[in-house]
Structure 1
């Protein structure tokens, strides 16, 4: 792509990281897109839970516009969407199906979908459906960007009719995440919002390890954990940790734990943003196993894989400080070589160029007519 284009993103949230990992992904991506000469406008639904927990009111690299209702979106921002070179709708956008229909009917440029929750989305589409994407819409998005790679991309194209599905993984931001001198406050920590399907794994790999090692300190950071969870005395709880504190948090751990949601384990090739952030800090990682993990980090050299409590306990007891440090250094080297926000912006740029070329070469198709189209 030889010159900058205008990209409009309608995403869950870029201004607040409260209870979601979308914000940090979007922040790094738009900053690096701007650095590559592109203009980015981010449209975010103004909802109370993000309004009350905004930790980045003016993200670098984009113009951020808040809208209160669908009617305001349709009435005030139709020209913006119509004239953009590419319009990307993100997963979990409130009223995302209505938003998607409107974008596909309104945008003259390339309509795309960015699924930061692909396995969850596909599991929902196979059942009761989602509020942010209908299966019928997938063929209408000229590009489907997915946090999940591997066989899922073929499924999106062959089963759901996506013209072009590509992996756009999460990433780390080296301007935010990096090593820093710190004494280890915790032997093992975990950062993540509560999820019922992750909790049994967290219990097996951290809580039970804490019971087995009462002389070591552990920490779990993240919101929405039920009040009735019985944490061991040596497990510290942090309710919410803003992105600005993630670096210090990771650097204060000897090892950090990565736990993957069940749908993403089944799909494979679904790295968490925390995986890359921790590695970028040089913090060694213990992860639950899933297909595709070894395509990102070399097990035993750049990451540890734990299937049960004993694997975690043995690592905490037996690894020397030198071995732990070397593991973290190798993981950081891998991230800096392939998994930064700058890498993702370059990948997105190439995907958009390819999808736009395909769109120009394809026969014209009539826009989908919706109630919103008439309003626009």
Structure 2
């Protein structure tokens, strides 16, 4: 079937945490025989900071970030069997949603795919006249990359016909163990862009433990931290290309995952970083969130911290041997239970079943 997918970017992870999710899932979905076209705007410097060349498993259309070009790109939805508008495209999201769904054929499957459900739902619940909230009744399906039952219930309460999580996962061809690189050497590393919904938690879980352990080395990667005051033992390296994620994850003794506040409070939303780190065989420390045990076993495959004090205590007792063992067990778990190949089977079955039930439209 032909799938038209409108998202932020598949070519660049620059200010675009969903790139790994899109790449892993759509690449695996293409192996089921689907013809996928991914539409992304030329915005936020992403095209100047591409991590990958246009892939051979989907067609990529980059359109200028202008209202007229949004309409032109949206018009191509008319040729698709499945039309997907993702959250957080970043340019004219509401207009794009309306244009894409207006262009879709009546018999096409119309999907909103939310890659930041807690934030999206907060907006919808606060704004009864939000364009997406009004559009839900005309969509066939909402898919999310996390959130569990709380997100499913919230979307269905707002009028979604159905909401189904398709969780982040691992693409072992892109995220896997590699030799360590000295430029990423540290006792603890964190990779994440500076965002309002995350900064206070980065202070708590990363910067305060660094200040409390001046003898240890800490590594910070991601965009937006250049003007932030940092402890002397925190080395900031800026944006880290997805090409370097494996080495970034495998070189330090441990890597830290810090969910944004909305994700942590909702739970059931493992970010891509969790699976990238596990896929590299890294020892992962994560902040605590409901549903973690669905993906990795706390204490055995991942270490869990309730706050910065826990992080400091974990680092004080964690030996290189224990870190290696935890990383090895995490890698085995995600390869068994959490690959994009498995997620793509779920989506393929879902799309085929839903399309088979779509009402035929008289000519």
Q: Write the distance in 2 (CA, Å) between the matches of 1:95 and 1:189.
A: 35
TM-score by length of 1: 0.88
The aligned residue for residue 97 of structure 1 is 94
Q: Offset at 1:85?
A: 1.0
The aligned residue for residue 118 of structure 2 is 119
Per the alignment, in what secondary structure is the counterpart of residue 166 of structure 1? strand
Per the alignment, in what secondary structure is the counterpart of residue 186 of structure 1? coil
Distance 1:146 1:76, change over 3 A: closer
TM-score by length of 2: 0.92
> Are residues 1:67 and 2:66 paired?
no
Q: Write the distance in 2 (CA, Å) between the matches of 1:130 and 1:167.
A: 25
Matched residues, number = 355
The aligned residue for residue 224 of structure 2 is 224
Which of 84, 103, 106 is equivalent to 2:103?
A: 106
- Which sections of structure 1, spanning at least 5 residues, go unmatched? 366-376
Q: Offset at 1:32?
A: 1.4
Q: Offset at 1:307?
A: 1.4
The aligned residue for residue 368 of structure 1 is none
Q: Offset at 1:129?
A: 7.9
Contact 1:256 1:286 in 2 (8 A): yes
Q: Offset at 1:176?
A: 1.4
Q: Write the distance in 2 (CA, Å) between the matches of 1:67 and 1:305.
A: 42
Contact 1:27 1:60 in 2 (8 A): no
Q: Write the distance in 1 (CA, Å) between the matches of 2:186 and 2:80.
A: 48
Distance 1:206 1:187, change over 3 A: same
> Are residues 1:19 and 2:15 paired?
yes
Contact 1:189 1:253 in 2 (8 A): yes
The aligned residue for residue 203 of structure 1 is 203
Contact 1:85 1:110 in 2 (8 A): yes
Q: Write the distance in 1 (CA, Å) between the matches of 2:145 and 2:251.
A: 28
Contact 2:278 2:331 in 1 (8 A): yes
Distance 1:139 1:128, change over 3 A: closer
Superposition RMSD in Å: 2.1
Distance 1:310 1:39, change over 3 A: same
The aligned residue for residue 160 of structure 2 is 162
Q: Write the distance in 2 (CA, Å) between the matches of 1:31 and 1:321.
A: 35
Q: Offset at 1:76?
A: 6.0
The aligned residue for residue 194 of structure 1 is 194
Which of 140, 143, 146 is equivalent to 2:144?
A: 146
The aligned residue for residue 44 of structure 1 is 40
Contact 2:74 2:100 in 1 (8 A): no
Contact 1:115 1:145 in 2 (8 A): yes
Q: Offset at 1:194?
A: 0.5
Higher mean C-alpha deviation, range 276-285 or range 162-171: 162-171
